[in-house]
Chains A and B, each alone.
Chain A
Amino acid sequence: MEVILSAQALRCSVEGRELWHGLGFSVRSAERWAIAGPSGSGKSLLLRTLAGLVTPQAGEIRFDGRPLTAWRLPECRARVVYVMQRPALPEGRVQAALAAPFALRVHRGKHYSDEVARGYLATVGIDGTFLEQDTDRLSGGEAQIVNVLRALLIAPRILLLDEPTAALDPARTACVEALVQAWLREADDRACLWVSHDGAQRARVSDHVLTLGAAA
């Protein structure tokens, strides 16, 4: 299978403490990766680096065969989407929050579709009236569903999920997991990296595990 995202000889140290060095891996189409490691081992930092939000201190990241440095970053980030642990949603309706990314220049040519959004929601048993709710009235779990769904709708190649279910109850956790699996099944050139503390969850959502801070 084709390699979508690869990292080579990545190094990262924070305040003189080396988190990882010589880190390398390749994520291929249809692969599901989990990232494990203790708190402070740089799991979020790794995802943020892969998304081009943080510049690697050493080493190279390639997406679709091209080094990240050769990409226009918005073009790359439209395809390698990082989903934050804490959802940050604009004020207004859920529907507006989901449609907002389609106004970005990088997504011109794509259109927001209520139908697609409802389709995803239906797979996790949420009905369409959810789209009419105000984002500031949502519970933490509901906000996270919007956060993940917003990323899925722009149809990225790779999803980088940063402990999206850390603060959710089991029912909402199952929703988020099911959404991501539904998105993965839609095309065979997609992949995801999922940071998770929970071994049982890693077993559910991934086939490959990258463990950080194992040597430390």
Chain B
Amino acid sequence: MNPRDLDIGNWQLGFAAALIVVNLALSASLRLGLTRSLLVASVRMVAQLLLVGFILDYIFALDHPLPVVLIGLVMAGLAGVAAANRTTRRFPGIYLDSVLCVFAASYVVTGAALLGIVNVEPWYRAQYAIPLLGMVLGNLLNGVSLALGRFMDGVARDRDLIESALALGATRWEAAHPLITASLHTGMVPPSTP
């Protein structure tokens, strides 16, 4: 093990788990109705982290760009699907749009960070590329799902307004522009709020 790497022991893991138990206790005592979903999420998280740990261990050892790019694709695809899944209203092609958008944005931003800012050598070192991509994807997932949700709710709520704009000769862009602006504002709230 690299001497600069951190060693997290069982006690520390137990402490992390205790934080979830606090949440469970709060949910149960205040009857917030979150107990079940918290439990499911915790179990899922443990399983996911175990799986990710094994896969990353394997990829780190390979030291080759292809598996890093491939796992990045899988991560971006999952984030894109998850972003669309968080909205209650769907349109045909929403998953494709979401995945393409998350993929393009995350690869450009992570690529710029690896090559232009962090200057990792070689660029595909998994211990940098994958966590960076993960952070970018986390933000994207929030931004995309908030903006998309706001947009879809708005389209349903302002249906008559949008349609009357179209009926008066607006292009699709003009008719949806106020809503697109509002949706982007909503999507930008998490990163732009201090």
Chain A residues with a Cβ under 8 A of chain B: 51, 53, 74-75, 77-78, 81-84, 86-90, 101, 104-107, 147, 150-151, 154
Contacts and interface: CB of A to CB of B under 8 A. Distances in A.
B167 A105 contact: no
6 contacts: A74-B169, A77-B169, A78-B168, A89-B161, A101-B165, A147-B164
Question: Mostly helix, strand, loop or mixed at chain A's interface?
Answer: mixed
Contact of B170 (A74, A86, A87, A88): A74
Contact of B168 (A75, A77, A86, A87): A77
B56 interface: no
Nearest to A147: B164
B169 A101 contact: yes
Given A86-B160, A90-B161, A77 B167 contact: yes
B113 interface: no
Contacts of A107: 169
For chain B, the bracket of interface size reads: 10 to 19
Contacts of B48: none
Contacts of A88: 158, 160-161, 163-164
Given A74-B171, A83-B167, A101-B165, 11 more contacts: A53-B166, A77-B166, A78-B168, A78-B169, A84-B160, A89-B161, A101-B168, A101-B170, A104-B168, A106-B169, A151-B167
Nearest to B178: A90
B174 interface: yes
Contacts of B166: 53, 74, 77
B1 to A, nearest CB: 62
Question: Mostly helix, strand, loop or mixed at chain B's interface?
Answer: helix
Given A90-B161, A104-B174, A105-B174, A84 B167 contact: yes
A83 to B, nearest CB: 7
A4 to B, nearest CB: 17
A113 to B, nearest CB: 17
B23 to A, nearest CB: 41
Contacts of B163: 53, 84, 88
A113 B54 CA distance: 71
Nearest to A85: B160
Contact of B169 (A75, A83, A87): A75
B160 A104 contact: no
A150 B163 CA distance: 14
A43 B123 CA distance: 63
A51 B167 CA distance: 7
Nearest to B173: A105
Given A104-B174, A105-B174, A154 B161 contact: no
Contacts of A87: 164
Contact of A154 (B158, B169, B171): B169
Contacts of A83: 167
Interface string B168-194: 111100100000000000000000000
For the complex of A and B, the 8 pairs showing the least CB-CB separation, nearest first, are: A78-B169, A88-B160, A106-B169, A82-B167, A101-B168, A88-B161, A88-B164, A77-B169
Contacts of B164: 84, 87-88, 147
B169 A151 contact: no
A154 B165 CA distance: 12
A193 B191 CA distance: 51
A105 B158 CA distance: 21
B77 to A, nearest CB: 33
A125 to B, nearest CB: 26
Nearest to A76: B169
Interface in B121-175: 158, 160-161, 163-171, 174
A104 B167 contact: no
B168 A151 contact: yes
Contacts of B161: 88-90
